[in-house]
A and B are shown apart, each in its own frame.
Chain A
Amino acid sequence: MEQYKLSVASSPHASSPVGTKNLMRDVLIALVPALVMGVWVFGPRALTMTLVSVLFCEIFEYGYCKLMHKPIPCGDLSAAITGVLLVFVCPVTIPYWMVIIGDFFAIVIVKQLFGGLGTNFLNPALAGRAFLMLSYPVPMTTWVAPGKANWVSMGSVGADITTGATPLSVDFMKSGILPQVNGADASLADMFIGNIGGCVGEVSAIALLIGGIYMIAKGVIRIRIPAAYILTVAVLTLLFSRAPEGVSSVTWMLYEIFGGGLFLGAFFMATDYVTSPNTPKGEIIFGVGAGLLVVFIRYFGGYPEGVCYSILVMNICVWLIDKYTMPKRYGVTAEMRKAEKEKAKAAKKAAKEGSEA
C-alpha cells in the first residue's frame, strides 16, 4: 500500500460546526432589531455612534495586543459586541469622544489588562458605562424624547432636541408617576415598542425580546439567566407595587420590566459568557441575585436605574457562585452523600480523640 502522511491526534476526531466566531456573530445578529429601533427612535446618530464605537473597540483591541506582542484576536468579534453594547447603554446625546473614552476603558482596562477574552471578570460594556457615568454624570443622564425631531439634527446635537424624562427617571421611580412621553403618560404599548426616551439600545422591549429568542433558539445563550432575572424583578414589583392610583399592580409590573435596561441587561449583558456562572444552578442564582439588586436599587437607591450595577455586582460573585454550585456527582445519591459525611465526621472525631489520648 502506498505511503501517506497521516495525522494522529487524541480523540475525538469530530468537532461541532459552531465556533467562537459563529457564536459572536449570532449575538451581533440578535442585536440588529434593537439597533433598528434605536435608529428609528433617536435618529441616524444612533447608527453612527454604534459604528464609531465598534471601530474603536476593534482598534483598541488590535493596538493593545500588537503592543504587548500577544496573538491578535481580532476577528473573533467579541470587541465588536462590546462596542455595540456600550453605545446601547448610553444616551444618544453624548459626544463621540466620550464614547471613545468608554471604549478605551472597556477594552483596554477592563478586558485586556485582566488577560483579554475569557478572563475579564466584569462585563466590559457595563464597566465602560459605569466609568462614563462616574466621569460625566450630566451628559450620561441627559435624555432626548423620541420623535421625528431627532432625524432632523443628524450628526450633531443641537438645542432643538427636546430633552425628556426617561421612563425610569427619579420622578417615575420615587414618587410613583407614570413615565412621560412628549408631555403625556406613556402607554404600555409605547413602553413595549420603544416609543420612549432612554439609552440607545434599551428602549424597545420587543426588539430585545426578538433578539433574545433568536439567541435562545440558536442555542447561543441558555434561558436560565434571563428567565430568572426578569421573573425576579416581575415578582418583586408585583408584590411590592408602587402603582399610582388608577393603575393596577400588574400594569405597574409591566412598566417596570419594559422600562429601563432590564431586557437589554437580561438577554445581552447578564448572559455574557465570560462573566456569568458556568453551572446550571449558578445561572439561576446569578439571575435571581441580579433581579433582587435591580429592585433594591430602583426602590431604595439613589440611581434611577439599577440594571448596570446589579449585573456588575453579580459579575464579581461569579467564581464564588460556581465554586458552591458544582453539579452533583453522577450516580451519588443523597444517602450516599450523607453516609460519606458521617464517615468523615467519625474519622475527624476519632482523630481528635486520638490526639487527646
Chain B
Amino acid sequence: MKQMFYGGVHPAEHKEATEHKPIQQLAKAPAQVVIPMSMHIGAPCKPVVKKGDTVMIGQLIGETAGLGAPIHASVSGTVAAVEPRPGTGGVPTMSIVIDNDFQNTISPDCKPRENVDALTPQEIIDIIRDAGCTGMGGAGFPTHVKISSAVGKADTIIVNGAECEPYITADHRLMLEHGEKIIGGVRFIMKALQLPHAYIGIEDNKMNAVENLKKLVGDAKDITVQALHTRYPQGAEKQLIQAITRREVPPGKLPADVGCCVFNAATVAAVYDAVALGMPLVQRVTTVTGSAVNNPVNLIAPLGTSFAHLIEEAGGFKGTPARVIGGGPMMGFAQYDMSVTMGKASNCVLCLSKEDLPATSENPTCIRCARCVNVCPVHLTPVYMNMFAAERRWSEAEEYRLMDCMECGSCQYICPARIPLVQQFRTAKFAIRQQAAKK
C-alpha cells in the first residue's frame, strides 16, 4: 500500500527536463570558488587559512565554533581573500575565496580507509564530524550532532529520498547512479546508531530509483525501500516520518523524541564518501533547470561554485530570466546576485522565465474557500492566521498556532485568491519573536 501523510499539494512536477540526464562533471572547472563559512544551522565556522595560503582539496579551511560542521577546500589553489561575500540567504556571509590552480591536488589526509568494518560507532561519528557532513536537503543540520543526539533514543532510521520539490532531480540521479553509496552510507549510520534496520523513502514518481535500490539491497533484510505516494511536502522531516511510521512529531519536539532519525539521501552518500573514501564533503550534485536555461542538467560541482558559472554550464540563460531561485520553487530563496555560490544544501538552481512566475493578484481577496485549511500538513487554519496577522493582532495569530507553521507554502500554492500567505506568516513570526525577546 502506498503511504501518505496528512494534507499537502501536488504541484506540476517539471522533472522531465533533467530526470533522464546523467550527473555530469563540470565542463570547465570554476576559476574561483567562494566558500561561505555558514552552510549549516548553528554558528558560522572560523576561517583557519589566510590570504596567500596554498590549499589542497579536502584541506580544513574553517573549523567549528559551537554547533556546526567544519568546512574544507573544494578546489586546490591559493586563498585570494577571506571576507564577507553575498550569500544565498540574502545577507553577506564571511567567505573564503580560493583561486583555482586547476591541478586538483588532493590533500594527503584524504585516502580510502582500510578496514572500515572494524570502526566503532563513536569512530564513525567522529569521521562524519570531521568530514563536515550536514543535512543536504535544505536545512543543513550537522549530521554528527543529529546522530549523537539520537543514540539510544531512536529506533527507526529513515533516509529521505522523497525529493518532493518540483524541478529537482539531484537526489533522484544520485540514487539511480550511485545507489551503492546510499546503501553503504546507510549501513554506516545504522552502525553508528547501533540499529539493525533502516527505511529509504522515495516518492513513486521515481520508481526506477526505487527498483535500483531494491536490487542493490537484494535479499538483505536490514533496509526497506519504501515507495511513497507523490505529494508535496513529503520531504519535510515530520511528514516523511508520518508517511513511513504513522508517528506525528509534536510541536517543538525533534524527530528523535518519537524515535526517528531522518537523513537526506545526498547526506547519506556524503557519509559514505567520508567513511569509506576518506573524502570530506567538498562537492555535491545540484540540478540547474527551469524554463530560462538552455540546457537543464544535473551537475556535480565543487562547493563554492557561483550560480553564474553553474548557469553557464547549463548553456546559459534562455531568453530573459525573470527569477533565479536557490533551491526548489516551493521553499527556495529568490536570488538577485548571480555571484552567490552553492553551499552544502544547494540542491537546485532554478531559473524561471516570466511565464512560469506564480500568479499574483493586485487586490487579493480571501473568499474563505478553506482550501488552505484542507492542505495544511500540520493542521493549521491559514485563513484565520492570515486574517489576524494582516491586522497585526499577533497574540490572536499565535492562538491560532501561527508558530507551528513550517512555511512549506502549500497554502499559498493552493490559494485561488493568490494571497501571499507565507510572506505574511514570516512577518508575523518575526514580530512575535521580537515581542517575546523584549519581554
Using Cβ atoms and an 8 Å threshold, which residues of chain B touch A69?
none
Using Cβ atoms and an 8 Å threshold, which residues of chain A touch B426?
10
Known contacts A8-B323, A13-B330; is-contact A332 B251 (Cβ 8 Å): yes
For window 350-369 of B, CB contacts with A under 8 Å fall at 350, 352, 357-359, 361-363, 365-369
Tell me which of B101-109, B184-192, B370-378 binds A.
B370-378
B422 in the interface (beta carbon within 8 A): yes
Say yes or no: B250 contacts A6, CB within 8 Å. Answer: no
Complex: how many Å from CA A102 to CA B329? Answer: 46
Known contacts A16-B9, A23-B369, A278-B370; is-contact A10 B323 (Cβ 8 Å): no
Task: State which size class the interface on A falls in.
Answer: 35 or more
Say yes or no: A330 contacts B379, CB within 8 Å. Answer: yes
From B410, which residue of chain A is reached at the shortest CB distance?
A12
Tell me which of B267-275, B293-301, B380-388 binds A.
B380-388
A184 in the interface (beta carbon within 8 A): no
Say yes or no: B416 contacts A16, CB within 8 Å. Answer: yes
Using Cβ atoms and an 8 Å threshold, which residues of chain A touch B380?
327
**Interchain CB contact (< 8 A) of A4 among B6, B317, B383, B414:** B317
Say yes or no: A13 contacts B365, CB within 8 Å. Answer: no
Using Cβ atoms and an 8 Å threshold, which residues of chain A touch B214?
none
Known contacts A73-B365, A329-B379; is-contact A14 B329 (Cβ 8 Å): yes
Closest CB in chain B relative to A65 CB, distance in Å? 11
Say yes or no: A20 contacts B417, CB within 8 Å. Answer: yes
Say yes or no: B378 contacts A330, CB within 8 Å. Answer: yes
A68 in the interface (beta carbon within 8 A): no
A174 in the interface (beta carbon within 8 A): no
For window 1-34 of A, CB contacts with B under 8 Å fall at 1-2, 4, 6-16, 18-20, 22-23
Candidate in A19, A20, A117, A332 with the most chain B CB atoms within 10 angstroms:
A20
For window 234-290 of A, CB contacts with B under 8 Å fall at 273-274, 276-280
Say yes or no: B381 contacts A13, CB within 8 Å. Answer: no
Residues of chain B at interface, number, CB under 8 A: 69
Say yes or no: B400 contacts A326, CB within 8 Å. Answer: yes
Known contacts A14-B329, A19-B416; is-contact A7 B369 (Cβ 8 Å): no
Say yes or no: A1 contacts B308, CB within 8 Å. Answer: yes
Known contacts A19-B416, A71-B363, A278-B373; is-contact A11 B330 (Cβ 8 Å): yes
Using Cβ atoms and an 8 Å threshold, which residues of chain B touch A16?
9, 11, 413-416
Complex: how many Å from CA A279 to CA B379? Answer: 10
From A76, which residue of chain B is reached at the shortest CB distance?
B365
Would you give the 0/1 interface string for B314-338, flagging 1 where the beta carbon is closer than 8 Å to chain A?
A: 0001001111110001111111101
Complex: how many Å from CA A273 to CA B363? Answer: 18
Would you give the 0/1 interface string for A322-341, flagging 1 where the beta carbon is closer than 8 Å to chain B?
A: 10001111111100100000
Tell me the interface secondary structure of chain A in the complex.
Answer: loop
B129 in the interface (beta carbon within 8 A): no
Say yes or no: B308 contacts A331, CB within 8 Å. Answer: no
**Interchain CB contact (< 8 A) of A274 among B338, B350, B367:** B367
Using Cβ atoms and an 8 Å threshold, which residues of chain B touch A73?
363, 365
Using Cβ atoms and an 8 Å threshold, which residues of chain B touch A276?
368
From A9, which residue of chain B is reached at the shortest CB distance?
B334
Say yes or no: A18 contacts B416, CB within 8 Å. Answer: yes
Using Cβ atoms and an 8 Å threshold, which residues of chain A touch B333?
11
Would you give the 0/1 interface string for A94-125, flagging 1 where the beta carbon is closer than 8 Å to chain B?
A: 00000000000000000000001110000000
Complex: how many Å from CA A276 to CA B368? Answer: 8
Using Cβ atoms and an 8 Å threshold, which residues of chain B touch A1?
308, 311-312, 338
Complex: how many Å from CA A116 to CA B338? Answer: 44
Further pairs besides A15-B359, A331-B251, A331-B378: 14, Cβ < 8 Å: A7-B357, A8-B336, A9-B334, A10-B426, A11-B329, A16-B416, A19-B417, A71-B362, A73-B363, A116-B365, A118-B368, A280-B373, A322-B381, A327-B380
Q: Could you list 19 A-B pairs, sorted by A, with CB under 8 Å?
A: A4-B321, A6-B336, A7-B334, A8-B335, A10-B422, A10-B426, A11-B334, A13-B350, A13-B357, A14-B409, A15-B412, A18-B416, A20-B367, A22-B416, A118-B417, A328-B379, A330-B248, A330-B377, A332-B251
Chain B interface (Cβ < 8 Å from any Cβ of A)? 6, 9, 11-12, 166, 238, 248-251, 253, 308, 311-312, 317, 320-325, 329-336, 338, 350, 352, 357-359, 361-363, 365-370, 373-374, 377-381, 383-384, 400-401, 404, 407, 409, 412-418, 420, 422-423, 426
Among all A-B residue pairs, the 10 with the closest Cβ atoms: A12-B409, A15-B358, A331-B250, A10-B423, A331-B248, A278-B370, A330-B378, A327-B379, A8-B334, A14-B329
